[in-house]
Structure formats: C-alpha cells, structure tokens
Structure 1
Amino acid sequence: MVNKLPLSGETVIFTSTKKSEEPYELVRQLGGNPVSYPLIRTEERVSVNDDERMMQTRNYDWLIFTSQSAVAAFHHKLKRFKMDVQDYELRVAAVGEKTAHALERIGFRVDFIPDVFSADVFVRQFNPEGESLRALFIKGNLAGTLISTELSLSVDEWTVYETLPEVSSAARIVELVKDTTSVTVLFASPSAVTVFTEHVAPKIGWAGYTIGAIGHITKRALHRMGAPVHVMPETYTLPELVQTLAGSKGRN
C-alpha cells in the first residue's frame, strides 16, 4: 500500500535561504512540517566602479550564472543603473533550472543549461563554438575556480554578492533536533555545511536525524566532515530533494 503522507510526523529543516515556497508546500502536502532556519545569507557586493563594470558586461559573448543569488544581485545593478536586458546582444548560460528561471523572469533568454546542475558538469559540457570568445562569470565570493580555469574560452570573473554565515539559526536547530522525535536536515550548499559543522554539530553530533544533500558537491562536503548522507536526488533541486526524502521515508 502506498503511503500518501510519507512525511507525516517529520520536521524538515531547510538550512538554505528561502527563495521559493514550492519545497515547503511540498513538505506540507506530504504530511511533514517544514521549517526555515537558514545558516547562510547573501548580500549584494556594491562597489564604486559598478557602473563601469555594468557597461562592460555588454561586451562579452557569454554571461555565466550559477545561482539565483547572482541573478538577483545582477538584477539590482541593472535597475540601479537603469539598464535594459534588451540592450544585451549576447548569450547566457545557467547552472540549474531555478537559476535559468530567475534569468528568464528578468528578461534574459537562457541558451545553455548542463544536464546535471553542478559546476564540474558544466565545464565538461559547455563548449561553445567560435574563436576568441569571451565570457563573464557573475558569481558569489565563495564560488570555486572550475568555471574560471577549466573552460576553453576566455573567462573573466565578477563577484556581485557575498555569502555570510547566519549563526543565529544554529541554536534554533540544536533545540529543534533535541526536542523533536523525527527530524530531517536538508543542505543545499557546502557553505551551510561549514556553518552547521562549526555551530551545530558540536552540540548534537551527526546522528539521530536524517541528512539530505541537494547534490554531489554538498554530499562530498558532508562526508569530509564525517557526516552521513541519507538522501540525495538525481536532479539537484530542493523539490526533488523533498520527493527523494519522501520516497525514502515511505519505504521505512
């Protein structure tokens, strides 16, 4: 018999910044209780030469985005300097459907998305044709170097946002895990894993609750810290992670 509410009685903690209600509503539909305790927050990086950098962005052949936060920060700069997406005669690459949708919402057409929503897969699959192509990687301060160093075309970087720890959530997670019978903690980035390791794990350890990772990079970060990973989706999105969690709980 199929369990229609496989997350019944389960408290599901999201440790990433809330960008959409979809995964939370999905947890509710599956019988669970979603809680948002982000361990990181993002802030736009503002510089005195932002206006000049924004004008230069139109001179590239490709813009590359790997996160919704990068899209949001770029959009703020577009509006601040009264620039129009329609003025861009270039192509756009996105790592992930959510990032692509964020770009489309502000008016860009997305020309390339990798099969797996991860930077290491992106650099293997992104091979645009043409000589002397130039790309601009619009990123956060914690982005890795793969995209900048491993692509065949010339890549410049522009850091448009900062990822900062949100330590205030740590005590709430500790209390919830200690006081709740059945808990799952979901991780969407290595940054959240780092904050959890420093401020939560010393007080509750890595056992007694379910751990979910949105992709293999985050899974690898958890394993480096000595943590198990019980669920990981094939498609690296939060709704798919929730569905994978529900499938796991439904079999128990």
Structure 2
Amino acid sequence: MPLGFLLVTAEPGAQVTVDEFQDWYNNEHVPLRLNHLPSFLTGARFTAVDSLTPSWLAVYDIDDTATFQHESYTRLRANRSPRETNLVQRLEVLDRRTYEFVADSGESALTSSYKPTNPTTFLITHWVNFPEGDTAFQAWSDEVFRALKGVEGWVRTRTYKCIDNLKTGLGVPKGPEAQVVPKYLAVHEVLSLPIAASSTFTAAVNPGSKAQIEEVRIWALYRAYPSVSQGNVQPPSST
C-alpha cells in the first residue's frame, strides 16, 4: 500500500476558546496518535497567516494508507473521551481529509519537514482538480518539481490524491455539497512568507497545464511533535 497523509483543518468558533482548543490538541488528541501509534511517522500543526478560515492546520505523515482502516487508529474516533466528544460537537469546523501519496520532490537538507528538530517554518497548501485524472496530475507534479528547483527558499513539495474526507461542525452546511473537496493536493514547504507571493514561485506552481486551481492557503508553524516512530517519545508501558 502507498504512503498516507492526514490533513485536518479546524476552526474553534464561538463555542470553543482558543486555549481550550490548544489544550485538547496538544495534550490529548496529538499524544493519542503520535505517542502510541508507530504508523504515525510525523505530526505538526500550523496556523493560518492568510486571514482565511479554518485558521488551524494539522498534518501527519502515515506509513501506509491501510492505517486509516486499522483498528488501532479507527478506535480513537469510535471511542472518544467525553471531553473530546463534547469539544468536537462545539467546533465551528473540523475538516478531515486522508490522502494517498503521489510524488515527492525529495528530502531537503534545509529542514526536517515535520520533525521537531529544524521543522519547516511555512507551508503552502495547494488544492487542484484535473478533469483528465491521475495521469495528468502526476505529469503536473513532475512539471512543478522541475520548476521549483530554481526558486530560492523553496524546501520541498509533495503531492497527494484524496481518498476520503469528512467535514463536520456548527458552521458546516447540511447536504452533500459541503462534503465535496478537490481531489488533488500539493503541499509546498518554504522558508519565508515572501516566497509565497513571489512571481517565480507563482509561475512555478502554476505551469501551463490543464490544472483547475481550487484553493491556496498559507500557514506558519505552530509546533512539530515528537513521536514513537521517531524514537523521541517514550513508548507507553505494556504493564
């Protein structure tokens, strides 16, 4: 099975304070995954710097898309704590999307991406659709990788295909239309905010192809987390 990627955007809204939201994420939600599941290779959270909502982003590298159906993971949502159940019901938006890995420009010596030692500072999430399907998206990925190699301050780009999604929250409209999301995603790692607005970066990620650009968001690092898989978290005791 291919590598997986989990992306979650969230907006606390009027019913959840930012302090409550952060405490839940940092001390319950993330540890239940990264401190216990070796399948979660990395995890990091970012905050929006583009004045758009949702204003929070969490990303996780997953060892295998089969993890998304494995009991060790599915039980975390099926058996939420009373605290988490209550908080999730009060969120304005919780938008969870799971992805299958497509392509990677390659690791960089500039950062460790989502690991807590020297993590990437800024992300640009770039959602696109391709009427021509997966083959066209793969070709677009290769084209973008080549173009970005000449952009100073660019770190790494990975591309993905959405395999499942669910959007919930007090601010999410009822009906199937609210659940429609772009099929493809590119995640660009960069060293500074001006890069996102530079003409060289814009030209590189919008080559002359048939891509339908759906949404572009810009995020700044909040925290990159240790994990059992990285060996920088003590695994839970079996006794």
Structure in which a larger fraction of residues adopt strand: 2
TM-score range, shorter chain: under 0.3
Select the structure that is richer in helix.
1
Which of structures 1 and 2 has the bigger CA Rg? 1
How does the TM-score come out when normalised to structure 1? 0.24
TM-score, normalised with respect to structure 2: 0.25
